[in-house]
């Protein structure tokens, strides 16, 4: 339980730098043992869909216009249509008031904490933002800029790698501004089921806070399609906003197009902030996004390619490092506690094999008891072709045993 005593105690001073800056520092001056293979960054390497270039070529003249910040009508209609096809929603999402275009999800998730602080009713005590631990760094950056206490909620094997809702006290929930949830989660690949989403939604409505649901890995899964927070939000989508991106779904990390959808009251305030503080999304990029959301063939193929790589992990890693094929996402979350923990294992892999991973410690924060829920793990991004992926995994097993 995150008790009132713990809430009032000074938290550990975190290292707020990017995990990749910390990784560069860890490996500085250490030569790789073999030709490097970087499986540290979650940057999709599958081919760009074939429709992208023709759409850009036919709309290049629209780079000569300032786009409206909320997104062009056709983009918002395409998003609404895709959400209705992809999820079992209580009703159609209104493209006019319940969808906003984003310059990728990172900036949207970051600014959403600032907007949430302005949107929620006054809190009982210092406003707080709740973040799963481990987490995506943009969440904590947004909470910090919003001037809120950042409260890290453990997401460990004991809680199926989802934030432990039982650990939240009534006092903490009463001062909560926003709750970030990633499903599928980064780095563990856990998927929140409908019961979990419904429980979280009920907490948000009882205490008046906002759920910021990061669903950017929703189309990469092993078995069942992950449900959306919108499916648990009821007909008005109150207190819920979901964030999606084409980076993972369509192998378009450089396009920088995503969207936010959900609670129309919050999105109106969010748009007010974005009109003065957020980058606009070029119209040709939105045209590409329309084509992407209207095509499922490339998404199915993308999922097939990731499945092949996880088949390799099943074969090469087997039962080592407490490996289990993740339900979603494209990361391995490997327990290297028997090898000195995340930093030691990362150094060993680089020095002996040239495989570059991310220490799980850098993707999490120390909690009040001094423990870091990522300290025993490394994250491996399964983004390369099959041959490169197999080579990286074979090297990993050879070094760690």
pLDDT (tens digit per residue) in 51-94 = 999 999 999 999 999 999 999 999 999 999 999 999 999 999 99
Can you tell me the distance from the alpha carbon of 333 to that of 253, in angstroms, rounded to the nearest whole number?
22
123, 218: one domain: yes
* 302 lies in the same domain as 291: no
Indicate whether 152 and 249 sit together in one domain: yes
Residue 106: which CATH number? 3.40.640.10
Residues 350 and 231 in one domain: no
Q: 209 with 303, same domain?
A: no
Total domains in the chain come to 2
Q: Which domain holds residue 167?
A: 52-295
Return the DSSP state at 168.
B
How many CB atoms are located within 10 Å of the residue 29 CB? Answer: 5
- Is 22 in the same domain as 94? no
We report the CATH number of the domain holding residue 31 as 3.90.1150.10
**In a shared domain, residues 268 and 313:** no
Alpha-carbon span 145 to 308, nearest angstrom: 41
What is the C-alpha to C-alpha distance for residues 395 and 401, in angstroms, rounded to an integer? Answer: 10
- Closest alpha carbon to 342 in 381, 370, 308, 379: 379
Tokens 């990633």 sit at which residue? Answer: 182
Q: Say if residue 13's pLDDT is above 80.
A: no
Assess whether 274 and 146 both reside in one domain. yes
Domain endpoint, select from 271, 295, 319: 295
> Which of 295, 325, 340 is a domain's end point?
295
Rounded to 5 degrees, what are φ and ψ at 259? -155, 160
pLDDT at 9: 53
**Do both 214 and 284 map to the same domain?**
yes
Number of H helices, E strands in the chain: 14, 12
Helix (H, G, I), strand (E, B) or coil at 40: coil
Domain edge (last residue) among 252, 269, 295: 295
The reply to whether 290 and 303 lie within a common domain is no
pLDDT band per the 50, 70, 90 thresholds, residue 4: very low
Same domain, 24 and 130: no
Mode of pairing for the β-strands spanning 355-356 and 37-38? parallel
pLDDT digits (tens, 9 = 90+) for 118-166: 999 999 899 999 999 999 999 999 999 999 999 999 999 999 999 999 9
pLDDT attached to residue 134: 97
């Amino acid at each position: 339980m995150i008790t009132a005593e713990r809430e009032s105690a000074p938290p550990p001073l975190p290292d707020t730098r990017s995990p990749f800056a910390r990784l560069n520092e860890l490996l500085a001056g250490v030569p790789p043992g073999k030709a490097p293979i970087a499986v540290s960054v979650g940057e999709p390497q599958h081919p760009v869909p074939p429709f992208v270039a023709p759409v850009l070529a036919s709309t290049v003249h629209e780079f000569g216009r300032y786009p409206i910040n909320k997104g062009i009508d056709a983009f918002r209609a395409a998003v609404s249509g895709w959400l209705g096809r992809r999820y079992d929603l209580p009703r159609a999402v209104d493209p006019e008031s319940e969808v906003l275009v984003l310059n990728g999800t990172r900036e949207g998730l970051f600014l959403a904490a600032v907007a949430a602080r302005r949107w929620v009713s006054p809190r009982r005590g210092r406003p707080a933002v709740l973040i799963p631990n481990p987490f995506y760094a943009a969440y904590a950056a947004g909470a910090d800029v919003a001037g809120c206490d950042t409260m890290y909620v453990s997401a460990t094997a004991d809680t199926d790698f989802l934030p432990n809702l039982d650990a939240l006290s009534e006092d903490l929930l009463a001062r909560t501004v926003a709750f970030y949830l990633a499903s599928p989660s980064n780095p563990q690949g856990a998927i929140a089921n409908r019961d979990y989403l419904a429980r979280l939604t009920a907490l948000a409505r009882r205490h008046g806070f906002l759920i910021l649901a990061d669903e950017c890995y929703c189309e990469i899964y092993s078995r069942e399609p992950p449900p959306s927070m919108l499916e648990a939000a009821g007909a008005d989508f109150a207190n819920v906003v979901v964030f999606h991106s084409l980076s993972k779904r369509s192998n378009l990390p450089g396009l920088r197009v995503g969207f936010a959808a959900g609670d129309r009251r919050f999105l109106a305030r969010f748009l007010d902030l974005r009109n003065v503080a957020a980058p606009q999304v070029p119209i040709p990029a939105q045209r590409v996004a329309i084509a992407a959301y209207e095509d499922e063939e490339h998404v199915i193929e993308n999922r097939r390619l990731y499945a092949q790589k996880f088949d390799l992990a099943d074969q090469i890693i087997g039962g080592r490092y407490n490996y289990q094929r993740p339900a979603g996402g494209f990361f391995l979350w490997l327990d290297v506690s028997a090898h000195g923990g995340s930093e030691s294992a990362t150094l060993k892999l680089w020095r002996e094999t040239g495989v570059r991973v991310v220490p799980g410690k850098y993707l999490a924060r120390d909690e009040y008891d001094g423990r870091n829920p990522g300290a025993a793990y490394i994250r491996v991004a399964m983004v390369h072709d099959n041959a490169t992926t197999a080579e990286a995994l074979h090297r990993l097993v050879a070094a760690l045993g």
